[in-house]
Amino acid sequence: MPLGAALLPSPFVLGRVRAAFVALALATVLTGCGAINRVPTLEEQAKSSWSEVQNQYQRRADLIPNLVETVKGYAQQEKDVLVGVTEARAKASSVKVDASTVSDPQKFKEFQDAQNQLSGALGRLLVTVERYPDLKSNQNFLALQSQLEGTENRISVARRDYIGAVQAYNTEVRTIPGRWIAAWFYPDAKPMETFTATPNSERPPSVKF
Question: By percentage, how much of the chain surpasses pLDDT 90?
Answer: 57
* pLDDT tens-digit series, residues 115-163: 999 999 999 998 998 899 999 889 999 999 899 999 999 999 999 999 9
pLDDT at res. 168: 95
pLDDT at res. 98: 80
Q: How far apart are CA 108 and CA 113, in angstroms?
A: 9
Q: Give me the helix-helix angle, 11-74 and 105-128, nearest 10°.
A: 40
What is the rounded average pLDDT for all residues in the chain?
82
Identify the residue with better confidence: 7 or 153. 153
Mean pLDDT, residues 185-195: 90
pLDDT at res. 84: 95
Q: How far apart are CA 189 and CA 192, in angstroms?
A: 9
pLDDT at res. 201: 44
- Distant-in-sequence, close-in-space partners of 17: CB < 8 Å, separation ≥ 6: 9
| pLDDT tier for residue 42 given thresholds of 50, 70 and 90 | very high
Q: How far apart are CA 168 and CA 162, in angstroms?
A: 10
Using the Cα atoms of residue 115, residue 116, residue 117 and residue 118 in order, give the sign of their dihedral.
positive
Please answer whether residues 57 and 206 qualify as being in contact, where contact means their C-beta atoms are separated by less than 8 angstroms.
no
Mean pLDDT, residues 80-90: 95
pLDDT at res. 209: 37
Q: How far apart are CA 195 and CA 201, in angstroms?
A: 10
pLDDT at res. 29: 42
pLDDT at res. 69: 94
Question: By percentage, how much of the chain surpasses pLDDT 70?
Answer: 77
Identify the residue with better confidence: 12 or 110. 110
Mean pLDDT, residues 21-39: 56
Provide the whole-model pTM.
0.77
Check whether 35 has a pLDDT greater than 80: no
pLDDT at res. 152: 94
pLDDT at res. 28: 47
Using CA atoms, how far residue 187 sits from 1, 168, 190, in Å, is: 62, 18, 8
> Which of 56-70, 104-118, 141-155, 181-195 has the weakest average pLDDT?
181-195
The amino acid at residue 133 is P
What DSSP string describes 135-202? HHT-HHHHHHHHHHHHHHHHHHHHHHHHHHHHHHHHHHHHSTTHHHHHHHH-TT--PPP-PPP-TTTT
